[in-house]
């Protein structure tokens, strides 16, 4: 993706710009992501936290405690409710962008799936992606980053 790239909420009040390449993109099939997205799975696109610049509006924050007991700060538009990004306290240098809010989504290719054990039964996983049954371990997380960077270098 060409840096910077932009996104925003459904009603347009909150707009952001990202000034760094994504570290990776993956889909999460945990129950929290299913409920949060009101859909089958959530997508995560981690970027360096200081590369996320709010250019319009001020998102509201909501905090939840993850299964591991760590807090996740969730940012969303107070007007239309679109979830924009998460800041996990577990990893204070990254923000997890909800990439469906990007203005251009044609280049979004998830390299992996996490929490496949709670995925909806009609979803089939390919051997082309990294598929993890639960929360990725630090080693598995690095594999997601590595695979994303290999895929992008191959495209260029
Ligand atoms: Zn909005
Ligand atoms: Zn999840």
Q: How confident is the prediction along the chain (156 residues), in pLDDT tens digits per residue? A: 789 999 999 999 999 999 999 999 999 999 999 999 999 999 999 999 999 999 999 999 999 997 777 899 999 999 999 999 999 998 899 999 999 999 999 888 999 999 999 999 999 999 999 999 999 999 999 999 999 999 877 765
Measured in Å, residue 33 CA sits from the centre of ligand 2 at 4
Residue-by-residue DSSP string for 42-100:
EEEEEEEGGGEEEEES--EEEEEE-TTS-EEEEEE-TTT--EEEEEETTSTTEEEE-GG
Measured in Å, residue 55 CA sits from the centre of ligand 2 at 27
Residues with CB in 5 Å of ion ligand 2: 28, 30, 33
Measured in Å, residue 7 CA sits from the centre of ligand 1 at 11
Measured in Å, residue 102 CA sits from the centre of ligand 1 at 13
Q: How many domains does the chain have?
A: 1
Range of the domain at 125: 5-155
Name the one residue in this structure whose structure tokens are 């996320």: 52
The predicted model scores a pTM of 0.93
- CATH number of the CATH domain containing 47: 3.90.1590.10
């Amino acid at each position: 993706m060409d840096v910077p790239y932009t996104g925003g909420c459904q009603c347009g009040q909150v707009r952001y710009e990202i000034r760094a390449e994504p570290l990776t993109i993956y889909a999460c099939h945990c129950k929290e992501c299913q409920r949060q997205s009101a859909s089958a799975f959530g997508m995560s696109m981690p970027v360096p936290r200081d590369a996320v610049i709010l250019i319009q509006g001020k998102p509201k924050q909501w905090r939840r405690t993850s299964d591991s007991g760590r807090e996740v700060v969730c940012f969303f538009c107070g007007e239309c409710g679109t979830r924009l990004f998460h800041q996990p306290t577990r990893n204070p240098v990254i923000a997890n962008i909800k990439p469906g809010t990007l203005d251009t989504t044609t280049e979004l290719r998830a390299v992996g799936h996490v929490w496949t054990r709670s995925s909806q039964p009609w979803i089939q996983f390919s051997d082309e992606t990294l598929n993890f049954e639960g929360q990725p371990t630090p080693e598995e997380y690095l594999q997601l980053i590595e695979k994303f960077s290999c895929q992008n270098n191959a495209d260029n």
